[in-house]
Amino acid sequence: MPNPYLAPINPANYRYAVHCCGYKWELDYQPDLAVALFADPAMALRFGQLMWPSTYEVIDRTTGEQVCA
């Protein structure tokens, strides 16, 4: 039974994808999957800064462009 206190999730609302980019330190050789999606670019950038300060990237899923701080 769905929780009535949570709004339904629409994936289209989450435009910004955060990647940890382990390849930048040669920690991975496979394509880097997004680890989080956000509706707000500032929130996505802050999450990346807190989790992976030297390697993260935020990508706009609509345009494919990198979001810069």
R_g (Cα) of the chain, nearest Å: 14
**Predicted local confidence at residue 26, as pLDDT:** 83
Beta bridge partner(s), residue 66:
59
Cβ-Cβ contacts under 8 Å for 41 (sequence gap 6 or more): 15, 16, 58, 60, 67
Position 69 pLDDT exceeds 80 = no
Chain segment 18-58, per-residue pLDDT in tens = 999 888 888 877 888 999 999 999 999 999 999 999 999 99
Q: CA 6 to CA 66: how far, in whole Å?
A: 31
Q: What is the pTM of this model?
A: 0.84
